[in-house]
Amino acid sequence: MIKKFFDLVLQYRVALFALVLVGLPALIIAVAIMRVQSTESVETITAHWTISGHADFTSRSFTFWDDNDPPMVPADCAACHSLHGMLDFVGERGTAAGSVSADMPIGSVVSCAACHNDAVHQMQMVTFPSSAVVEARGSEASCLMCHQGTESADSVDQAIGGLDDDVVYDELGFINVHYHVSAATMMGTTARGGYEYPMAVYEGRFEHTPDFQTCSSCHDAHNLRVEPLQCSTCHSNVVTYEDLRDIRDDRTDYDGDGDTRKGIALEIDTFHDILYEAIRTYADEVLDAPIVYSSQRFPYFFNDVSEGGEIDPADLNFGNRYTTWSPRLVRVAYNYHFVQKDPGAYAHNPRYTLQLLYDSISDINQSVPVEMAALTRP
């Protein structure tokens, strides 16, 4: 009885602190925190969360639909861009799990209740856009749900199936995997997030070390940051966050430049750059429609009006979007953008990333020559 009394006092203290700190939203957060065990105080957890992207009420991730009429988050987006949608999607509100039942109100973020609820705690499997069902280890289910992208190898194949590789089709267009697709990268061919070529073998889930197997074993679960010093036990060169890009776990010279000491991230960068130049050459010489890419402007691929390869801000508008799509260009552009939209691909699954890029370069090489003799596929 006495223990229950003090537990109740602690719960009210947490709720009062949250209410004073940032008002009603934090009160809701605190209630969720009280349902889980943590070695950190609620004050520390709340402070960590408030500096994360999940708490940014001004982010386009949460404000994109503010000017809609009515201002609602569409059901197709709400599972990850609305607290209400997430709770609906996992069935926490009595709805059927696996879909959002309706458009959801704007104005919420990914607060604690999104991840700390009974439905998510009980999730052991997560379905990816490819329909692959993947094991969720520990507390990573909510991470896998919202960082898996919205497309897959399967949806690309569905779009281009049965079409001639180098013929332009009006019905084709760029397929955007979405953003921050780290879960799709980490799962590799288990989830089929990247475009995978028939008969090729791809890396599955990236198995790091026993102590670093899940999202939250590398990322702080609340501020989302990586603490680089936890890597230095094995990677002695790592002191700062920037040093993470210098990590590599083998001495294969994938890009053939003779340097086997640089980080695997730089090997990926080289493959990525080669693929972009190959895409530009293919679009120019085979499709007779020069192309440029901007990672920061939707829909990312645009007509190269100047034909110089330089990005002219005046050309980065939806009216100048690239529309000359062949099946070959659709799949290689998909992989190029897939890698671009996971800045941590070198840590999440470097071999899968290199395999996707190598195979895409090889794909273009079947149509226009690309110098690949020095490249090695993992």
- Per-residue pLDDT reduced to its tens digit, 226-254: 999 999 999 999 999 999 999 998 999 99
Task: Give the mean model confidence (pLDDT) for residues 169-182.
Answer: 98
At residue 336, does pLDDT exceed 80? yes
Question: Do the strands 301-303 and 125-127 form a parallel or antiparallel pair, or are they unpaired?
Answer: unpaired
pLDDT at 27 over 80: no
What are the residue ranges spanned by the domains of the chain?
A: 1-51, 162-289+324-365
Q: Is 306 helix (H, G, I), strand (E, B) or coil?
A: coil
Instruction: Please tell me the predicted confidence (pLDDT) of residue 125.
Output: 96
What confidence category does residue 38 fall into, taking pLDDT thresholds of 50, 70 and 90? low
75 pLDDT band (50/70/90 cuts)?
Answer: very high
Q: What is the pLDDT of residue 251?
A: 93
Angle, alpha carbons 135-141-145 (nearest 5°): 100
Please write the tens of the pLDDT for every residue from 129-139.
999 999 998 88
Beta bridge partners of 125: 135
| pLDDT band at residue 1 under the 50/70/90 scheme | very low
| pLDDT for res 12 | 37
* Dihedral over Cα of 161, 162, 166, 168: its sign: negative
What are the tokens at 285? 């010489």
Question: Could you give the CA distance from residue 163 to residue 166 in angstroms, rounded to a whole number?
Answer: 9
The per-residue pLDDT for range 178-206, each reduced to its tens digit, is 999 999 999 999 999 999 999 999 999 99
pLDDT at 162 over 50: yes
Contacts (Cβ under 8 Å, ≥6 apart) of 369: none
Confidence of residue 77 (pLDDT cuts 50, 70, 90): very high
**Ranges of H-type helices in the chain:** 2-22, 24-33, 42-50, 60-63, 75-81, 83-89, 112-115, 118-121, 141-146, 153-160, 182-187, 215-218, 264-285, 327-340, 345-348, 350-365
Would you state the pLDDT for residue 43?
92
